[in-house]
Structure 1
Amino acid sequence: MSSTQMDYRLNDDLLGPVLAILDAYIDPYLATGLVSAGCVTKLALDGKRLQLGLVYPYPCMSQYRDTVMALTNKLAVLDAIDEVECEIDFQPKVYSAIASIAPIANVKQVIAVASGKGGVGKSTTAVNLALALAAEGAQVGILDADIYGPSVPLMLGIPNFRPVSPDGKHMTAASAHGIAAQSIGFMLSGDEAAVWR
């Protein structure tokens, strides 16, 4: 169950049927009904317009239209409802793998893409994953930690970006396709080699 606040302003005669319809709608990724998953955060009636608020635990912007249409059709069988006004948002859960390590400020999730072998598609996978999450509405940053062959700048189409450091401690991130990006590749030009001790 989600920890999101629920605001139900329907009379008891209507609340039960609405919740039953919403819980009968099985989310394909949560594999449960919207009420059971804790996604339904708001129910109110303005005349015959149902105001419905949904909060998903994963980014799902591409599903918004189909979800609203399906729910509108299902809820329209109730005499008290002529239309549905739906607001959808997402709040991913924050997981901590190691309780003793403090979380990174303003970062809710970290996905690591790694391999001990070169040339297996780590950067390609990371960039495509970042683009897919951004397309679904997530705020995404990508850190290219490959210090020997950084390819994220090229893959994002920003190989000539040069970061600046306004305070001498932090570098500005590049922005491309809705993604914030940081890479050692931004500090090298052409075929320059990075020599690390």
Structure 2
Amino acid sequence: MSVEAAPRLAPPALPVRTERLMLRTVQPGDREAIGRYCGDDEVTRYLPFPSLDDEALTARMSRLVAATAPSVPDEFLALAVEHEGTLVGDLMLRFTDRHGPTDPPAIAELGWVFSPEHGGRGLATEAARALVDLAFAHYPLHRLMARLDPRNVASARLCERIGMQLEGHTREDYAERDGTWSDTAVYGLLRREWTPAR
């Protein structure tokens, strides 16, 4: 007996506009701005990739530009975040799990990277709230989660500001690039806990 493949999901309606921001698909022309902050050792300190050289940036841009219509686990949606015409960061919504092989995704992971040049004004929080709203409004998701290094205090606070709860802290479960081990903090938000920002 053959098993039917899960149907592809429609891409979300973009761009998404908030009070100060526009969230849109990532374009090849975003390379310089993304390369500037993703090439910063301090920005990538707690990210799952090192500061990007030219070759790594090319590979990352290829993945980000193509990430427009996720439907199955491990596919993701990438969004560029603009403020007054300037790219200030990017967001990711990656599907991680579903009930069965033909079911739509039920769980997704959030991720973000923002330029420190534009920090301190709540832009990352505004963008992440918009991503949560898009995730629950457009996709049949049951749960959103974020996994981060507990030392990444800024991201932990962002999780809390968008209504996520600290659900767990696992010890030395992530292999760092230098051969050491670090912890992981897990934050979560269920659909029934979601209150749309707009």
Q: Which has the higher strand share?
A: 2
Computing the radius of gyration over CA atoms, which structure comes out larger, 1 or 2?
A: 1
Higher relative contact order (CA 8 A, sep 6+): 2
TM-score by length of 1: 0.31
